[in-house]
Amino acid sequence: MATWAGKWPPDVVIYDGTVKIRPPSLAELPVLMEIEREAGHCFSGIGMPEIAADDPLPVAVLDSYRLAGMAWVAAESSDSPVAYLIADLIDGNLHIEQVSVRPSHAGQRIGGSLLEHAAQHAVSQGLAALTLTTFADVPWNAPYYERCGFYVLDDDLLPPGLRVVRQREAEHGLDRWPRVCMRRDL
């Protein structure tokens, strides 16, 4: 469970004494790109080399999330980021655009800590849910998010904003593999 000090929403949160969740600095944005590249390499091993080769979001885009207060990093004791999450407001919910964890730190619930932080942020803003899109059959995607309290939404019932997200993903070629929209009620 989280422990926060100071104002709500918190700028810094310590989860389970293992990672510090905080906003990234401008200087750390290239580190987020590096984390994304490292995390992407895992897709090569499951027959998705195109995903592994996909470029991370550029610094300017990451900075727009940072400036909007919609970007957080998980930093280890040295204060170096080992994971990050960025989010948008879509259909009146907090939409998780990206969560990436360095493979060397996978399996430590760091991604889950970032999701919990995003959920607390959403609640503090009066939002009803977290949403995301992900690969249906990748073990660290939809099955993982189900364990984190998300459920799959019926494609025929998607709200307009998520339809736009799915259309952009299809145009980017992500529909080559089964994808789903998911929601976690708060």
Q: Helix, strand or coil for residue 186?
A: coil
Place of tokens 């019932």: 157
Quick one: pLDDT at residue 28? 97
Q: What is the pLDDT of residue 75?
A: 94
Q: What is the pLDDT of residue 17?
A: 63
Provide the domain count of the chain.
Answer: 1
Share of the chain above pLDDT 90, in %: 83
pLDDT band at 1 (very low <50, low <70, confident <90, very high): very low
What CATH number is attached to the domain comprising 6? Answer: 3.40.630.30
Cβ atoms 175, 165 nearer than 8 A: no
Q: Is 50 left (phi over 0), alpha (psi -120 to 50) or beta?
A: alpha
Where does the pLDDT of residue 168 fall: very low under 50, low under 70, confident under 90, or very high at 90 and above?
A: very high
C-beta of residue 21 within 8 angstroms of C-beta of residue 13: yes
CA-CA distance, 105 to 142, in Å (whole number)?
19
pLDDT (average), residues 34-47 = 94
pLDDT, position 3: 33
pLDDT band at 43 (very low <50, low <70, confident <90, very high): very high
Q: Is 148 helix (H, G, I), strand (E, B) or coil?
A: coil
pTM: 0.90
Residue-averaged pLDDT of the chain? 90
- Nearest-5° Cα angle at 25, 2 to 162: 70
> How far is residue 7 from each of residues 87, 119, 121, measured CA to CA in Å?
21, 17, 12
pLDDT band at 22 (very low <50, low <70, confident <90, very high): very high
CA 98 to each of CA 4, 16, 28, 77, 89: distance values in angstroms, whole numbers, following the listed order? 24, 22, 16, 23, 13
What mean pLDDT do residues 66-93 have? Answer: 95
Average pLDDT on 85-110 reads: 95
Taken as a whole, the chain contains a residue count of: 186
Which domain range does residue 102 map to? 2-185
Query: Do residues 100 and 71 touch, judged by C-beta distance below 8 A?
Result: no
Q: What is the pLDDT of residues 111-151, one digit of tens each?
A: 999 999 999 999 999 999 999 999 999 999 999 999 999 99
Q: Is the pLDDT of residue 10 over 60?
A: no
Check residue 147 and give its pLDDT: 95
Res 156 pLDDT > 80: yes
Quick one: pLDDT band at residue 5, thresholds 50, 70, 90? Answer: very low
